[in-house]
Amino acid sequence: DLPRPSISAEPGTAIPLGSQVTFVCRGPIGVQTFRLERESRALYNDSEDVSQVSPSASEARFRIDSVSEGNAGPYRCIYYKARRWSDQSDYLELLVKGEDVTWALPQSQLAPRACPQ
């Protein structure tokens, strides 16, 4: 089986409104495409810009230049290698911090939205 990918966020998972965040999806070498999924399989961004970061790992980076409250919520990664998709990574919850409020919706209240570029 393909190993599960990992997901992380730089500089972190709690981002001030209007700041930049980069999701980093990491998997084994030889990955053709990384996919960042948002809330469900239906909302995603693909990246074929895969870089090898060590002898055994590759990664792709997904940047949001200016986060809004609409970007809050769970994200996960999968990748495509050897003509099949991997299992999903664990979910990573992005929190967006305003001046006096943090947006984070309970899983049950999430409405599907298009993934921003």
**Report field, pTM of the whole predicted structure over 0.85:** no
- What does the pLDDT average to over 11-23? 96
Instruction: Please report, for the chain, the start and end positions of each structural domain, with discontinuous segments joined by +.
Output: 6-97
State pLDDT tens for residues 43-92. Answer: 899 999 999 999 999 999 999 999 998 999 999 999 999 999 999 999 99
Does residue 116 have a cis bond before it (omega within 30 degrees)?
A: no
In the predicted structure, residue 115 carries a pLDDT above the cut 80: no
> What is the rounded average pLDDT for all residues in the chain?
88
Provide CATH code, domain 6-97. Answer: 2.60.40.10
* Burial class of residue 57 (count of CB atoms within 10 Å of its CB; 0-12, 13-18, 19+): middle
| First-to-final CA distance of the chain | 31
